[in-house]
Amino acid sequence: MAKILVIYYSKTGNTKKMAKAVGEGVKERGGEPDVVHVEDFGDIEKLLDYDGYIMGSPTYFGILAAPLKDFIDRSIKVYKKLDGRVGGAFASSGIQGGGNETTIHSITQALKVHGLIMPGFSGAGHYGPAAVGEPDEKIISESRQLGKSVTALAQKIS
Ligand SMILES: Cc1cc2nc3c(=O)[nH]c(=O)nc-3n(C[C@H](O)[C@H](O)[C@H](O)COP(=O)(O)O)c2cc1C
């Protein structure tokens, strides 16, 4: 069973709601989700236990929030050990055009440096779910879809 880490930073709860929906999608597709706030993750070497990584962040000045960046920087410990696994990203912003896509890209850039493979999306939210404020039903549904797509890819690869 594909084990997927859904790791996020959230201060006021918007990204957290998306993370929960991503985890539901992983489960619906037959994967095993671990939905964790970045501050609760613990030993970075636990990253080796997963088949896939989905990261979510609020948009802070157009990019990912510092606690998630710090987590990614600490993941240098497992650099070159995650190649060929799968990934994905999601983001939340305060305003439309506030930088959700650049936030998603700032995460996926780092995931690519780790050698991860990521699905794209032909429907709404091409790069991943992007909420403005509290996620509505459409964004919750896209978040579930992200969980499903990453899990399906992990299952195909293994
Ligand atoms: C330090 C800081 C920087 C922010 N920068 C942006 C920004 O550049 N663009 C934007 O649209 N919203 C920005 N916001 C708003 C948050 O991205 C938004 O409220 C988000 O939904 C919060 O997610 P959370 O509820 O998961 O903490 C910023 C908020 C903070 C605290």
- Encode the chain (158 residues) as per-residue pLDDT tens digits: 999 999 999 999 999 999 999 999 999 999 999 999 999 999 999 999 999 999 999 999 999 999 999 999 999 999 999 999 999 999 999 999 999 999 999 999 999 999 999 999 987 789 999 999 999 999 999 999 999 999 999 999 98
| CATH number for the domain harbouring residue 54 | 3.40.50.360
Q: Which atom of ligand 1 is nearest to the CA of 16?
A: 26
Tell me what pLDDT residue 50 has: 98
Q: Which domain holds residue 25?
A: 3-157
Q: Write the secondary structure of the chain as one string of H (helix), E (strand) and C (coil).
A: CCEEEEEECCCCCHHHHHHHHHHHHHHHCCCEEEEEEHHHCCCHHHHHHCCEEEEEEECECCECCHHHHHHHHHHHHHCCCCCCCEEEEEEEECCCCCCHHHHHHHHHHHHHHCCCECCCCCCCCCCCCEEECCCCHHHHHHHHHHHHHHHHHHHHHC
Q: Ligand 1 atom 22: the closest Cα is on which residue?
A: 58
**Tally of domains within the chain:** 1
Q: What is the pLDDT of residue 158?
A: 84
Q: What is the pLDDT of residue 123?
A: 77
Residue nearest to atom 15 of ligand 1 (CA): 94
